[in-house]
Chain A
Amino acid sequence: MEVFTHALIQALTWQNLLALIAGGIYGIVVGVLPGIGSAVGMALALPLTLRWPPDTALIFLCASYKLSGYGGSITAILLKTPGETANAATVLDGFPLCEKGEGGIALGASCAAAVVGGLIGTLCLIFFSPPLARFALRFDAAEYCLLAILALTIISTVIEEAVIKGLISAVIGLTLATIGFDNISGILRFTFGIDILADGIPIIQALVGLFAITQAIELAESTETISKLGDLKGSVWDGFKKYFHYPWNIIRSSLIGLFIGILPAVGQTTSGFLAYMEAVREAKHPETFGKGNIEGVIAPETANNACMPGDLVCTLSLGVPGSVGAAVFLGIMIIFVIPPGPLAFTEKADVIYTLFMSLLLAHLLILAIGLTSFKYFALISLVPNTIIVPTIIGISLIGSYAVRNSMADVALSIVFGFLGYMMNKTNFSPIPLLIGLVLGDMVEKNFHRALLMSEGSLSIFYESLISKILIALIFLSLFYPYISKLWKRIRQKRKEALP
Chain B
Amino acid sequence: MAFLLQLIVFTFFTLFLWKSFDYPFEVRLYPQVITLTGLTLVGLSLFQHLKQGKGTAPTEDVLRRARFYRISLILIAGIILGFLIGFLGSVLFYYIAYAYFQGERKKLPRNLLIGTSLTFFFYLLFGYFMGVPLFRGMIKIF
The residues of A with any CB-CB pair to B shorter than 8 Å are 47-48, 50-51, 164-165, 167-168, 171-172, 174-175, 178, 182, 184-185, 187, 189-190, 192, 213, 216-217, 220-223, 385-387, 389-391, 393-395, 397-398, 401-402, 405, 407, 410-411, 414, 417-418, 421-423, 425-428, 444, 447-448
Contact = CB atoms under 8 A, between A and B. Distances in A.
Contact of B133 (A172, A220, A402): A402
Interface string B130-141: 111111000000
24 contacts: A51-B131, A51-B132, A164-B45, A165-B45, A168-B6, A168-B45, A171-B13, A171-B37, A175-B12, A178-B31, A217-B72, A221-B67, A221-B68, A386-B104, A389-B94, A394-B90, A394-B119, A397-B82, A401-B134, A402-B133, A410-B135, A417-B75, A422-B1, A426-B2
A391 B118 contact: yes
Interface string B1-25: 1100110010011001001100110
Bin chain B's interface residue count. 35 or more
Interface in B114-142: 114-115, 118-119, 122, 125-126, 130-135
A395 B90 CA distance: 11
A386 B71 contact: no
A398 B134 contact: yes
Contacts of B45: 164-165, 168
Nearest to A50: B132
**Nearest 5 CB-CB pairings of A with B:** A390-B94, A220-B71, A426-B2, A171-B38, A394-B91
Contacts of B125: 48
A402 B26 contact: no
Interface in B39-94: 41-42, 44-45, 48, 64, 67-68, 70-72, 75-76, 78-79, 82-83, 87, 90-91, 94
Contact of B26 (A51, A394, A427, A448): A448
B42 A168 contact: yes
A401 B68 CA distance: 24
Given A217-B68, A389-B71, A51 B82 contact: no
A401 B30 contact: no
A340 to B, nearest CB: 20
Contacts of B83: 407
Contacts of A390: 91, 94-95, 98, 115, 118
Contact of B34 (A174, A220, A411, A425): A174
A386 B102 contact: yes
Contacts of B20: 189-190
A100 to B, nearest CB: 36
Given A174-B34, A187-B24, A190-B19, A389 B98 contact: yes
A227 B23 CA distance: 59
A50 B126 CA distance: 11
Nearest to A388: B98
A449 to B, nearest CB: 11
